[in-house]
Amino acid sequence: MRVGCLYVKHFPAWAFVRSGRERRPVVVIAREHVVACSPLARAKGIMEAMPLQRVRALLPEACLCHRDPHLESAAWEQVLHALNTLTPFIEDHGPGRAFLAAFEEEVLRQLAAGLGAQVGIAPSRSLALLGALRAAPGTACDVTTVDSFLVRCRVELLAEIGYAADLIAQLWLFGYFSLSAVSTLSRRHLGVQFGPEGERLHTLLHPEHEPPVARFQPPPVIRRAFDFEHPATEPGELLPVLEHLVHRAAESLASSLLCRRVAVHLCLHRQAQARLACRILPEATREPGRLLGTAKTLLFDLVDDALEIDAMILELGALHAGTPEQGSLFFSRPSLYAAVRAVHRCYPGALLRAVPVPHALLHEQEVRFEPFPEVEPKRNGSGKRSQGRP
């Protein structure tokens, strides 16, 4: 049985690009260093582990984003649901990598092109992974002859799947430039020279008998559906139903769950193929108003004058537990600092505040600009803020 591997390079940046439709180069940072970047950013010389100051100097127009694990989880869940339409046999190896079996190769190639993902198809998982690493984004690499394929794989390819730079450098020093040459070494040789990592490399190049790909267990979602007695064609028929579904789904979220992904399915009259639109929210929420606004946008993207709709399905996904908050008896205005955090999440340091500088010698030094704080300053006993008022 042939195995497929779907791989998304620099997945954290890919998730931001897919969710926000950002056209500028995207650079994802964590702890003031680059963890992922989009192809546009890589073309400009941005690399992983590069300091943030260096990124700003090389690419000032880049969209700098703090890493968002919940966004990555929601984006990957959407990919897994797309793969599940091809086959029920999927192994999830975390955001950015999955193995699958019993699929139609042409349909998988089309999905890879739509996602901009890399796909490898081979007799084993490890060879399929190597094939995916060698494939260009949006294409598939079919490994038919293993020996000739390994000749074309450079040892530098191992860095993308977690092998240490020292191991790759030593292989170069010993004259092993391709994985085909490395495959001639025995497990004992690699183990003595490189330890457990060398033995893992031997297993990668000489896969033994593998268990079949397991059946996929989809992540939990909240799904609500409505069947029309007669095919619906007008927005006046669809919008009340959509609002009803959103409120029913929001009630199921209760006070313990938050949603990050919203999808709308339309089952069409006398057509086997349903229409689907999906969107990942900038922030997880359980508020019916925000969910309804997103669902309406998706519905308007799907509906046209020629459609007759038999059923509508609303799906809330990327569910995770929220932090409990103390309720209030009175209405309170949305926090300014929550809006600042939302902006800084996508554009770190973009919002600035002016702070007066007392006793400045020059006129242009009387005010300095600093990043707007994301947390409201604490108040002292007199009710005043302990820091300067923003």
Q: Is 358 in a helix, a strand, or coil?
A: coil
pLDDT of residue 390: 43
- Residue 125 resides in a domain: yes
Helical (H) or strand (E) element with 71 = helix 69-84
Which of 218, 241, 266 is at the close of a domain? 218
Show the beta-strand stretches assigned E in the chain.
Answer: 3-7, 26-30, 33-37, 63-66, 89-92, 97-101, 118-122, 140-142, 222-232, 257-268, 275-285, 309-317, 320-321, 352-356, 367-371
Residues 52 and 126 reside in one and the same domain: yes
Residues of the chain with pLDDT under 70: 20-22, 322-332, 334, 345-346, 348, 378-390
Is 4:108 a contact under the CB 8 Å cutoff? Answer: yes
Q: How many CB atoms lie within 10 A of CB 148?
A: 10
Residues 286 and 192 reside in one and the same domain: no
- Residue 326 resides in a domain: no
Residues 20 and 83 reside in one and the same domain: yes
Which of 290, 321, 352 is at the close of a domain? 321
CA–CA separation, 256 and 253 (whole Å): 7
| DSSP secondary structure code for residue 150 in this structure | H
Residues 123 and 47 reside in one and the same domain: yes
Residues 31 and 110 reside in one and the same domain: yes
Residues 24 and 47 reside in one and the same domain: yes
pLDDT of residue 343: 76
- Residue 327 resides in a domain: no
Q: Give the side-chain half-sphere CA count within 13 A for 147.
A: 1
Which of 300, 321, 342 is at the close of a domain? 321
- Residue 284 resides in a domain: yes
Residue 181: which of 207, 208, 159, 152 has the closest Cα? Answer: 152
Residues 304 and 337 reside in one and the same domain: no
Residues 167 and 303 reside in one and the same domain: no
- Residue 233 resides in a domain: yes
Structural domain total, the chain:
3
Is 320:259 a contact under the CB 8 Å cutoff? Answer: no
- Residue 57 resides in a domain: yes
- Residue 185 resides in a domain: yes
Residues 226 and 363 reside in one and the same domain: no
pTM of this structure:
0.75
pLDDT of residue 368: 86
- Residue 349 resides in a domain: yes
Residues 154 and 227 reside in one and the same domain: no
pLDDT of residue 371: 82
Residue 41: which of 64, 20, 18, 67 has the closest Cα? Answer: 64
Domain containing residue 137: 1-218
pLDDT of residue 384: 52
Residues 284 and 316 reside in one and the same domain: yes
pLDDT of residue 222: 92
* The two structure tokens encoding residue 365: 């030094």
Q: Which residues pair with 264 in a beta bridge?
A: 277, 314
For residue 78, the domain's CATH number is 3.30.70.270
Residues 358 and 249 reside in one and the same domain: no
For residue 290, the domain's CATH number is 3.30.1490.100
